[in-house]
Amino acid sequence: MNDISLDYTGLMEDVVGEKHGLTVKLIESLSGRAEKIHKNLIELKEKGEIGFYDLPKIDTRDIKRFAAKIRGKYENLIILGIGGSALGTTAVQTALGHSFSHLLKKQKRNGYPRLFVADNIDPDVFDELLRVTEPKKSLYCVISKSGSTAETMAQFLIVQRMLEQKLKGKWKKRIVVITDGEKGPLRSIAREHGLASFEVPKNVGGRFSVLSAVGLVPLACAGVDIDALLAGAARMDERCGAADLMQKPAYLFSALCYLADTKKAKSSIVMMPYSSKLYGIADFFRQLWAESLGKRFDKTGKEVHTGQTPIKALGVTDQHSQVQLYVEGPFDKLLVFLEVERFGKRVDIPDTFSDRPELAYLAGSSLNELMKVENDGTRYALATHNRPYISIKLPEISAHTVGQLIYMLELATAFAGGLYQVNPFDQPGVEFGKNYTYAMMGREGYDDLRAEIRKRSGISGQKVL
Ligand code: PA5
């Protein structure tokens, strides 16, 4: 079946001690609440208020047709998007694509374009990207649910002008838009100019949207098997249909993190894949956990300031940078490992210089074995220093297992909203920043806010050396 699994032995009291570990009794004490939260989420789903649950079953035919149409035509597919419009795509492409696909010739890429995700607006980097990717050989995919995010719209305006100057009226064939079906300036521009477009479902928020057109269009164009990805998500959905909290991987993961935070003071959560290909998942999870659960008010309006700080680390690389802190620093962290049981390749270590005892132990082994032993070593170091951890195990990295993992993290986040009693689907802190940008860049309708910001920011700049 190739199911991913959740091993939480390292978070239990008998491994890391009473002060830092959980007991089965404590976890089970959440069962009653879990049922209520589940019921509430299902009600919201049935009322059509949250839509990410429906994504594993969506019809992908139009997306696959579009991907087939562009295959072989372009060297580059350039995504313009930020946050939830970018992180999921990067995570899946990093996991499933060739790690150095940008260096492969088109034939070796089977006609699929190179995927670039321009999710920042650093002028130097954006300029460099536009210069190394020949516009005549590129397709630009503008992704924004709201269709108005300043960063993405600025990128769009730059690209549109560049294409119009180089290709005249043909610029319209080089831009595909993924946005709300009705609202927003991006939708109206797409309509007015007849641009190819796909819809972001109304009831799916940015960070929960990778399994919608937001992620599926670019991923299908880059050669990812999107049906297998969705089948993986559907499999996780099926596993989470069980009645018992202890049997639902997503809810159980969520409950473990919540208890570690609220009962054992683990206010930070470090996701550490022992796989470079899964590093993007740690970034994706950071956004999900941070934006969904980092809230000032709970659902009743009470000031609560919830949220566990998500951090990313990479095994084995960060054994040589961050692990020292995790093993001996403050007792405020829960580690979550992503572990791969079977890597795609085995890389043997030759027995050259095996006459030297300092190297002989490596002879005849493999990078696979070394990686595993080092992962075991980090877990061992944590356990012996009473530092809790969870392992999410993937039998292999495939579209099916990555689909399971993504959906599990989304479901876990939605459920954690119930545990913390906050709304996991809004992001007032993000909107605050967006509104500041609109006001200070002179957007119409933001005059009052601009005046207020100017008044309040009179106090800044007094302590500058
Ligand atoms: O999760 C979210 O809602 C945000 O991170 C958004 O994805 C991000 O702000 C980009 O918004 P949009 O897709 O509207 O451009």
Does ligand 1 have an atom closer than 6 angstroms to the CB of 89?
no
Is 102 catalytic? The answer is no
Is 320 catalytic? The answer is yes
Does ligand 1 have an atom closer than 6 angstroms to the CB of 94?
no
Q: Alpha carbon of 347 to those of 39, 285, 369, 370, 429: distances in Å?
A: 48, 29, 9, 10, 46
Is 108 catalytic? The answer is no
Distance (Å, rounded) from C-alpha 384 to C-alpha 191? 61
Q: Residue 162's pLDDT is what?
A: 98
For residue 194, how many other CB atoms are within 10 A of its CB? 9
Q: Residue 430's pLDDT is what?
A: 86
Q: How far is the CA of 83 from the centre of ligand 1 (A)?
A: 5
Residue nearest to atom 5 of ligand 1 (CA): 83
Reported as a single tens digit per residue, the pLDDT across 172-225 is 999 999 999 999 999 999 999 999 999 999 999 999 999 999 999 999 999 999
Reported as a single tens digit per residue, the pLDDT across 277-292 is 999 999 999 999 999 9
Per-position pLDDT tens, the chain of length 465: 699 999 999 999 999 999 999 999 999 999 999 999 999 999 999 999 999 999 999 999 999 999 999 999 999 999 999 999 999 999 999 999 999 999 998 888 999 999 999 999 999 999 999 999 999 999 999 999 999 999 999 999 999 999 999 999 999 999 999 999 999 999 999 999 999 999 999 999 999 999 999 999 999 999 999 999 999 999 999 999 887 889 999 999 999 999 999 999 999 999 999 999 999 999 999 999 999 999 999 999 999 999 999 999 999 999 999 999 999 999 999 999 999 999 999 999 999 999 999 999 999 999 999 999 999 999 999 999 999 999 999 999 999 999 999 999 999 999 999 999 999 999 888 888 888 999 888 889 999 889 888 888 765 556 677
Does ligand 1 have an atom closer than 6 angstroms to the CB of 197?
no
Does ligand 1 have an atom closer than 6 angstroms to the CB of 84?
yes
Report the 3 state secondary structure along the chain: CCCCEEECHHHEHHHHCCCCCECHHHHHCCHHHHHHHHHHHHHHHHCCCCCHHHHHHCCCHHHHHHHHHHCCCCCEEEEECCHHHCHHHHHHHHHHCCCCHHHCCCCCCCCCCEEEEECCCCHHHHHHHHHHCCHHHEEEEEECCCCCCHHHHHHHHHHHHHHHHHHHHHHHHHEEEEEECCCCHHHHHHHHHCCEEEEECCCCCHHHCCCCHHHHHHHHHCCCCHHHHHHHHHHHHHHCCCCCHHHCHHHHHHHHHHHHHHHHCCCEEEEEECCHHHHHHHHHHHHHHHHHHCCCECCCCCECCCCCEEEECCCCHHHHCCHHHHHHCCCCEEEEEEEECCCCCCCECCCCCCCCHHHHCCCCCEHHHHHHHHHHHHHHHHHHCCCCEEEEEECCCCHHHHHHHHHHHHHHHHHHHHHHCCCCCCCHHHHHHHHHHHHHCCCCCCHHHHHHHHHHHHHCCCCCC
Q: Residue 459's pLDDT is what?
A: 57
Q: How far is the CA of 431 from the centre of ligand 1 (A)?
A: 9
Does ligand 1 have an atom closer than 6 angstroms to the CB of 205?
yes
Q: How far is the CA of 172 from the centre of ligand 1 (A)?
A: 24
End-to-end CA distance of the chain: 61
- The minimum-distance atom of ligand 1 relative to the CA of 200 is 13
Residue nearest to atom 3 of ligand 1 (CA): 206
Q: Which of 79, 142, 207, 208 to mutate to test the pocket of ligand 1 (most atoms within 8 A of CB)?
A: 207
